[in-house]
Copies of this chain bind each other. A is one copy, B any other.
Amino acid sequence: MGMILLRYGEIALKGRNRVQFVRRLRRNIRACLKAYNLEGTVQSVGQRIYVYTEQVQDALEPLSRVFGLVSLSPVSEVARDIDAIVEECVRQAREAGVGPGVSYRVRARRADKTFPHTSPEIGRLAGEAIWREVGGEVDLSKEADVTLGVEVRREAAFVYGHVVAAPGGLPVGVEGRVVALISGGIDSPVAAWLMMKRGCGIIPVHFSANESETQKALDNIEALGRYSYGWNLRPTILDHHEAVGPTLEKLRMLGEERWNCIFCKRALLLKACEIASDFQAHAVVMGDSLGQVASQTLPNIEVISYNMPKPILRPLIGFDKTEVVALARRIGTFDISTRSESSCPFLPAHPITRASVEKLIEIARRLDEMELHDA
């Protein structure tokens, strides 16, 4: 039976929430294994989690996408015997490529203090054996090319020579639910991903304007699913025209097309807030950054947010486009979002960039009057 050591960071500090957080993390890890048809058992030991599985290599990549984990290592279990530990260190150092020009260090941790060798002694003995039998240069700093780890526990000793990075954050689900507007574009999936990273269960909402954009949105949501183990991403698809068409038509009749984007975004957000209420979600997430397009100005953000019944979270508000693109590539949504582009048919030639709440209220009043007239 193979074994993987999984490390969590921030959630170790969570005080009395710790137990609940780690339970959710184990549950999400199990959901991840299940999604890939991997057999395995998941167990907490001290401040670590261990996965026991016959399919260590297949499990590493999926597990490296579980939020709450900071890193993982395939480990070898050996007897609680200094010779066995040293021998395994030498074997793993060789496997990891230690040799002339490749530096290494050994970090030992004696969780069981009854073991007759202290942590520094274990590190020294293993380090010397590697130097004698494999070569390489000792480098006790973080800069070492290869870091070997030894953990001595009551039941056995563990040795690892390879650390896989994981995304950090908090286990999906521990922080409750948010509605996330997801389009076919680059920004909104990244915004949703950042909230997943902070432990949110995402309720994706897409307003469908045409087939290709909707397919991109669905593919984006599927890509996000590869980070959402333990929380099922069930998209709600609504008709874009139904949500905003009548308002845009009236804005045209009033000669206020410059306000199209403002009223459109407000209509979508209001609907998303409604859905949030229905699903006991506490906020709506969107991909707004500041100043990336003409309509993403501070005055417009103020007017779009005005009187919204739920908080609007904008995790990308401080990001440069290059930073959003880098994250989208990492998540795997960039290629989906950029495979085609369809521009909005209602985008005015000169969208308003300096909206004001006073003007918003005035236009909204005129729209209401038209409605009364219609009736």
- What is the interface of chain A, defined by CB distance below 8 A to chain B? 9-10, 15, 17, 168-170, 174-178, 191, 194-195, 197-200, 282-283, 289-292, 294, 297-299, 301-302, 305, 310-315, 317-318, 320-322
Contacts and interface: CB of A to CB of B under 8 A. Distances in A.
A289 B10 contact: no
Top 3 A-B residue pairs of the complex, sorted by shortest distance between their CB atoms: A194-B318, A315-B318, A305-B311
A310 B299 CA distance: 10
Number of copies: 2
A10 B199 contact: no
B10 A321 contact: yes
B322 A10 contact: yes
Contact of A283 (B294, B301, B310): B301
A298 B10 contact: no
B310 A198 contact: no
Contact of A312 (B191, B195, B298, B311): B311
A321 B313 CA distance: 18
B321 A195 contact: no
A314 B194 CA distance: 13
A311 B302 contact: yes
A308 B312 CA distance: 12
B282 A298 contact: yes
A66 B62 CA distance: 40
A169 B320 contact: yes
Contact of A317 (B298, B299, B305, B315): B315
A349 to B, nearest CB: 12
B175 A297 contact: yes
User: In the complex, which of the residues A9, A168, A290, A305 has the most CB atoms of chain B within 10 Å of its own CB atom?
Assistant: A290
A10 B293 CA distance: 11
A191 to B, nearest CB: 8
16 contacts: A9-B320, A17-B294, A175-B291, A175-B298, A178-B298, A194-B318, A195-B317, A197-B318, A198-B291, A198-B320, A282-B298, A282-B299, A283-B302, A305-B311, A315-B317, A315-B318
A170 B292 CA distance: 10
A301 B282 contact: yes
A200 B289 CA distance: 12
Contacts of A314: 313-314, 317
A174 B298 CA distance: 10
Given A10-B320, A282-B298, A314-B314, 14 more contacts: A10-B292, A15-B294, A170-B290, A174-B291, A176-B297, A195-B318, A198-B291, A198-B318, A199-B291, A282-B299, A282-B301, A301-B313, A302-B310, A315-B318
Task: Name the residue among A170, A199, A283, A321 with the largest chain B CB count within 10 angstroms.
Answer: A283
Contact of A168 (B15, B197, B322): B322
